[in-house]
Amino acid sequence: MNFLIIALIVLAVVTVAQILRVFELSGKINNQDINDVTDEDNDRQGKYLLAFSFVFVGSTIAMTIGWWDLLLPYASSVHGEKVDNLMAISMIMIGVVFLITQPVLFYFSYKYRGVNGRKATFYAHNTKLEFIWTVVPALALTVLISYGLYVWNGIMDPEDKDSIQVEVYAKQFDWTARYAGADNKLGRANVRMVGGINSLGVISTSAKDARIADIDADIAMMKQQIAESSNAIKNAKREKTIAGLVKSRKTVIALELQTTPADLKNAEDDIVVKELHLPVGKQVQLNFRSQDIIHSAYMPHFRVQMNCVPGAHTQFIFIPTQTTAEMKEQENNPDFEFILLCNKICGAAHYNMQMKVVVETEEEYNKWISEQQTLTASLN
């Protein structure tokens, strides 16, 4: 099929080239230059352009009306209403400018189409015009940017500082959530602690012990393989692997020593899950990390988006206002689910990097969180 498509494209290009060649030869026979543009050509093209303007503007309006229902539903977060207002103001301004400038542009192209003997008026400089087309857009952009900064500052610096602490961890092509335990404080984490069940690299005494046990088991296995093998090349590679494991063991021990007792304690009751649950009406702080490359955490229904950057911590604070059950009823869709997407192309399986988000009542959330196993319990 791909071969047939390529062959068809090549054939179409050759056909067009041959048609143009026929016109060129026909012009030479009739002593005409096919590149000459006549008044009739200009008049015809001007009318075509004017007709196209009606189709262009009309189809834009028709598509906007016809596809309006494909836009996202009303925001399901407190700040989302402000974001939607900002978006609406921006789109109204763009729409008004579009409906003014495009018809004028097409009309002028038709009115001043080429006519033999007509000369264009040339303005070397016009201070008034330059002032108008500089100041008007500048004022419009100043209003939009100022309002946008006001909305953004309100979102990123909420008055209520007490938030439920949740970490969202990104890696190709997967999301993992980590909840702070009863202390509502997340423990420290480091990518060098990643191993086994501790997929987020949380730094705690139990996580360190589990990681050390895994490394020691790998070293013992390598040494056993060396003892049973007479292949010098393979044994040299195994020795190199052992050296790397010994280095990792020292790093893991150092990470624990560099972590304060308070942070070690905070990590012990952290909860790691593969599904994000949020209580409605409660302020949530999502803390983002990435293990490999830049990802973008995007929850469209909450109007939440933030980059996840390797080696850096980012965050977003918001308050959900609708439960999943309410959205199913509102959208008349029993299969509706809130989702967390990656909104930055991150590789071949980027399209499948999603995580289910459940918004529920505070009682349902407390019941769910009480049923989850802490990281320490899972490691023991």
pLDDT in tens, 35-64: 677 778 888 888 999 999 999 999 999 999
| Residue range 317-346: mean pLDDT, rounded | 92
Return the ∠ at Cα 135 (arms to 129 and 138), rounded to 5°: 140
Residue 246, pLDDT above cutoff 70:
yes
Q: What percent of the chain has pLDDT over 90?
A: 43
pLDDT given at position 267: 85
pLDDT given at position 32: 65
pLDDT given at position 228: 87
Q: Could you tell me the pLDDT band of residue 350, with boundaries at 50, 70 and 90?
A: very high
Residue 189, pLDDT above cutoff 80:
yes
C-beta separation of 375 from 266 below 8 A:
no
| Residue range 209-235: mean pLDDT, rounded | 88
Q: Could you tell me the pLDDT band of residue 325, with boundaries at 50, 70 and 90?
A: very high
Which DSSP state fits 280? T
Q: Tokens 């229902």 identify what position?
A: 69
Of 262, 276, 249, 271, the C-alpha closest to 202 is: 271
Cis-peptide, bond into residue 173, ω within 30° of zero: yes
pLDDT given at position 39: 78
pLDDT given at position 33: 65
Least reliable range by pLDDT among 41-50, 196-205, 297-306, 367-376: 196-205
pLDDT given at position 282: 92
For residue 47 the two structure tokens come to 């009318």
Partners of 279 in the β-ladder: 360
Task: Provide DSSP, 313-334.
Answer: -EEEEE-B-S-HHHHHHHTT-T
Backbone φ, ψ for residue 340 (5° rounding): -110, 125
| Residue range 9-17: mean pLDDT, rounded | 92
Q: What is the mean pLDDT of the chain?
A: 88
Q: Tens of pLDDT along 123-155?
A: 788 888 889 989 998 999 999 999 999 888 888
Taking the C-alpha atoms of residue 113 and residue 101, their distance in angstroms, rounded to an integer, is: 18
pLDDT given at position 35: 67
Task: Provide DSSP, 189-252.
Answer: B-GGG-BTTBTT-B--HHHHHHHHHHHHHHHHHHHHHHHH---HHHHHHHHHHHHHHHHHHHHH
pLDDT given at position 159: 67
| Residue range 91-99: mean pLDDT, rounded | 91
Residue 178, pLDDT above cutoff 80:
yes
pLDDT given at position 257: 83
pLDDT given at position 276: 94
Q: Could you tell me the pLDDT band of residue 34, with boundaries at 50, 70 and 90?
A: low
Which DSSP state fits 163? -
Residue 185, pLDDT above cutoff 90:
no
Taking the C-alpha atoms of residue 339 and residue 205, their distance in angstroms, rounded to an integer, is: 34
